[in-house]
Structure 1
Amino acid sequence: MSLHLVTKHETPEDRADITDAEGAAMARAVVNLFRLWGLTEADACILLGGLSRRTYARWKEGEIGRLSIDQKTRLSVLMGIHKALKLLFTDQGRVTDWVKKPNQAFGGQRALDVMLGGYLTDLFRVRAYLDAARG
């Protein structure tokens, strides 16, 4: 069994599986995804874990900065949701509109309403539903 010792200069972000470059690329892609979904800035900031509007504005300008593990995970789950939708639907309109349509699987709520609960587990709930739907 191997034991990983954390030095006083190492942060959890230093050990993340998603590199900073990958995280920045996903952040830029998610900004575009949120445009396609027609989200408000307030909604976008909630989905990104309480990101400030000022930071989100910088993201929209392409200035991504250092991302936390939580942010990288959220970005990864959001990209997974989009990928699953693209695999499930051939019509681009259905891919982009699905998150805003009521869904019986979520008690009649929209997937967006579930995700706007703000918790990472809310994003995972939508992702798990789509993964199960894909089989």
Structure 2
Amino acid sequence: MPLAQPRDAALDLDSPKAGQVALKFFFNLMEKWQCSVEEQTTLLGSIGRSTLYKYRQLPEVRLPRDTLERVSYLMGIHKSLRILFGDNPSSYTWVRKANSEAPFNGHSALQHMLAGGVVDLADVRRYLDGVRG
């Protein structure tokens, strides 16, 4: 029977370091998207303000799976926008622009994501993946 290999902490999504990296990405993106505190708490899964302020200190913390999944979708959305728009400021303003296509139906991608469900983040990611081809 083979021995279990020790997991590399840098690759372990349950590690406190992974949580810190995810939070650093999240807060940098929120600054670029100019998201309010309320928008940030919703995007992270309707967390409390005190938790958000704790997270802003970028602690090494084990994030809940739901939070990691949400940040992962945001990373994918950011990556797609950078591929589509490059370094153009449009890669950061697109999320606030009204979009007539499904699933947005006249709302912005951010408004869609602020419905609060993980599926809403996934919808935006799928849409951008489709646009990218």
Same fold flag (TM > 0.5): yes
Q: Which of residues 73, 78, 87 in structure 2 aligns to 1:77?
A: 73
- Which is richer in helix? 1
| Distance in 1, Cα, partners of 2:34 & 2:53 | 16
Higher mean Cα deviation, 52-61 or 101-110?
A: 52-61
Q: CA RMSD in A?
A: 1.3
Higher mean Cα deviation, 82-91 or 120-129?
A: 82-91
Whether 1:127 and 2:116 are equivalent positions in the alignment is: no
Counterpart for residue 113 of structure 1? 111
| Distance in 2, Cα, partners of 1:27 & 1:46 | 14
TM-score normalised by length of structure 2? 0.84
Which ranges of structure 1 fall in alignment gaps of 5 or more residues? 1-16
| Deviation sequence 1:40-78 (CA, Å, 0-9, x none) | 001100000011111111222212522111111001001
Tell me, what secondary structure is at the counterpart of 1:70? Answer: helix
Which ranges of structure 2 fall in alignment gaps of 5 or more residues? 1-11
Preserved CA contact (<8 Å) 1:23 1:75 = no
| Distance in 2, Cα, partners of 1:64 & 1:127 | 27
Paired letter, 1:18: L
Aligned length: 119
